[in-house]
Chains A and B, each alone.
Chain A
């Protein structure tokens, strides 16, 4: 419903935006991102996040109000932006006047410099006010502009910021390929040159405009293909994807392969937890326990250190044992919780995860698991005589695991068991009344989930060559939960997307890694509020959520 907007509403919305920007500043997020300069001498990632809240709120507000004339709309945008800057201006003045750092350790000189653009408080405040005002105007302008102008503009801006954000990684990959002079024209230090940034912007703009103009007809042509052509095309697509995945380490280089490996391990865990939480609807917060068990079994069986069994196990013979032990533990820990539902199940599984970790840290099994010191000297996997030391080589081990898990998860989803899981998720009582064996169905879910996690843990142990109980804390469970929620609960492609976003991105941006848990928390809340089905939703789950919401709405 569009309605005209009152002054009070404008001030309210603007202050919300201002407080969000202020919060991001005083926890040190903005200052840390400020260290990542995007375009030499222009702006940093800190600026982007600083104006993000006023931009978003101004845009939403303008969109929801009645549009009388352009001047008024732009004025509202300006007002929201300008008022939003007030809390930050106050912060700048306070920080100049008193030593606020003894209370809020992250209100650093770097932050104040970023907020006041290196000027004194008054000049800086005016700049900040104007910047925020301009942001608001820009948001309002985006709203007024017709879609054919807005779309290319937004896409081009996103490309420019994206390329600039990852310029360091880009530089790392391009350095060996391009000549020194070319590198110098593109990059200034680790950041982009303004000229090149503008170039990226323009190219993206042009391509998007072109695509908007002719994209429709291309799509139509593709849609008009006959079945044989379509088949060839989808086969071609799969082939390209397969080739890319197969040769990914060559494209990525060593550092990015390492990132890909971590993403892969989380995909493995995500596929497992997706079965437990996504398919069967059993919220498990102690999922890290099976990861730990897989890792410890691998460690104990293969370690060449003092704690190893030295029974002639290598990676390949120990791997199935790790998976089997993790699976058994999945069943053992599953039995006591068979009767529990929803939140009780969540908190008990959380308890299990902690019990396993605390026992591993304690002196109870120190002779076997090494207590707090963990297990060292775990050999890397060996493949026909070559030790897989490089991340690019380990990649294939993890890829194998992921493909296997992917195959199993997909087949299970479409099997009788998979349908039973979903029936369980939808309504446990009805499922039981239909004659379903709840005990077996639940235990199968726990066991399969634990097996994937155990596999991931075993590879993890071998990849790191040493394991410490402190690596297996609750945060891993929450990470995995967050990634399947972001991707879409119950959706297998969602696990991949979720892992890329939540595990891959923070590894590429150290700054994000530091605030990782804060971002996860925010994401969990935001997803539940605005997009509970996730970014790549499973169709069936989406319908279910909708139906449940409707039903509950009726009941009260």
Chain B
């Protein structure tokens, strides 16, 4: 017993030192950067806006993780691939031919709507195929089993789409109307970023309304709460799960279109890291919570965008923007160690954590 207490103290001490070291170095870096003031105010606002746009994408993808985790308690590793598959297919089959014929510039709204619909259909199709073949038979299996399957599915889809469309980077066509900047309240913002932010807000609001207010949404929440009781109440749990994947994948599909509008580069590996980061965002906000995913995404996006310049520059790190990913992953580790329930999450029950 004595020894055991000592063990915990030792561990607690190490973690405490770890935490202090990170906070101190962050503060130190911030102060040093601000004293030195290498960037103009303009640069900072640009970075923050870019961070919000990036965070919006994370938020949309994170919804998929949060919904699936809420219902099945599994990390759907392949979710990033749902994001990639839709926009990749739509770019090749719709956007590029449409742009070549000039249609996309003449009717940008119809064009983008068609692209968005196709993207969502493909994403949802891939998601439900994956769920049906790879996840459904394994319900109730030991927990590592579906996780490994999901990792397998992720790699399967990545390299399937690589084989399908080739491994080179595809260009999403430029659309004349959304090139350039607009002036909002004295801040110049890229039009594409404005679109990202507005669409994300609309989508998240719609989704929240759907899940909270409608009866179908209720069935999802019931399945997340307790599958057996939900079944007893006459809810078709399989259908609720399919619906969960459909919702998550549609959001990922929309995120794919927005990603394409901003970055205009599509390739088969584009889903993996955004996927992992979106998972980080979901955990950050509190997994299982939709507002949490939105908040977590936003937070991560801003942190990742501002972080290298703010924390690392001051510490004298050369070319800090290479370490963007390190910041995101460090954040994931920190959140999981010190606040696994996330910002908005309820305390995770042992079975969920």
Contact = CB atoms under 8 A, between A and B. Distances in A.
Contacts of A363: 318-319, 322
Contact of A549 (B15, B134, B142, B329): B142
A153 B134 CA distance: 33
A437 B2 CA distance: 12
Contacts of A359: 323, 326
Given A27-B160, A340-B336, A352-B333, A524 B149 contact: yes
Interface range, B side: 35 or more
B279 interface: yes
Interface string A392-403: 000000000000
A398 B79 CA distance: 39
Interface stretch (A101-109, A120-128, A295-303, A409-417): A101-109
B347 to A, nearest CB: 14
A149 interface: no
A350 interface: yes
A366 B318 contact: yes
Interface stretch (A268-276, A331-339, A448-456): A331-339
A525 B156 contact: yes
Given A336-B15, A553-B140, A524 B329 contact: no
Given A29-B163, A552-B140, A556-B228, A351 B329 contact: yes
B150 to A, nearest CB: 9
Contact of A355 (B227, B317, B329): B329
Contacts of A478: 151, 155
Contact of A529 (B7, B134, B163, B319): B134
B151 A355 contact: no
B109 interface: no
A218 interface: no
Contacts of A553: 140
A48 interface: no
B321 to A, nearest CB: 9
A544 to B, nearest CB: 8
Contact of A344 (B15, B92, B133, B353): B353
Contacts, number: 171
> In this complex, which of A348, A361, A521, A522 has the most chain B Cβ atoms within 10 angstroms of its Cβ?
A521
A103 B138 contact: no
A548 B155 CA distance: 27
A556 B160 contact: no
Main SS class of interface, B: helix
Contacts of B317: 364
> In this complex, which of B74, B155, B159 has the most chain A Cβ atoms within 10 angstroms of its Cβ?
B155
B141 A532 contact: yes
A522 B144 contact: no
A366 B160 CA distance: 36
Contact of B160 (A351, A485, A518): A518
B75 interface: yes
B276 A350 contact: yes
A23 B133 CA distance: 16
A287 to B, nearest CB: 13
A347 B332 contact: yes
A545 B138 CA distance: 12
Interface string A22-54: 010011110000000000000000000000000
B293 to A, nearest CB: 15
A346 interface: yes
A478 B159 CA distance: 14
Contacts of A532: 141, 145
Interface in B4-58: 4, 7, 10-11, 14-15, 18
A524 B318 contact: no
B128 interface: no
B239 interface: no
B325 interface: yes
B318 A364 contact: yes
Nearest to B147: A343
A28 B163 CA distance: 6
A549 B141 contact: yes
B224 to A, nearest CB: 14
A342 B144 contact: yes
B152 interface: yes
A133 to B, nearest CB: 27
Contacts of B276: 347, 350-351
B337 interface: yes
A283 interface: yes
Nearest to B272: A474
Nearest to A485: B148
> In this complex, which of A352, A529, A545 has the most chain B Cβ atoms within 10 angstroms of its Cβ?
A529
Contacts of A525: 133-134, 149, 152-153, 156
A105 B166 contact: yes
A540 to B, nearest CB: 14
A39 B340 CA distance: 59
B337 A437 contact: no
B14 A335 contact: yes
B336 A521 contact: no
B119 interface: no
Interface in B192-241: 227-228
15 contacts: A281-B144, A340-B340, A341-B353, A342-B144, A347-B75, A347-B332, A348-B333, A364-B318, A481-B148, A518-B155, A520-B155, A525-B153, A528-B138, A552-B140, A556-B228
- Closest 7 interchain pairs by CB? A524-B152, A27-B163, A521-B156, A521-B155, A351-B329, A518-B159, A105-B166
Given A340-B337, A521-B153, A529-B134, 20 more contacts: A103-B165, A342-B144, A347-B75, A348-B332, A350-B276, A351-B276, A351-B280, A352-B329, A354-B325, A355-B325, A359-B326, A517-B155, A518-B160, A521-B155, A521-B159, A525-B152, A525-B153, A528-B134, A528-B145, A552-B140
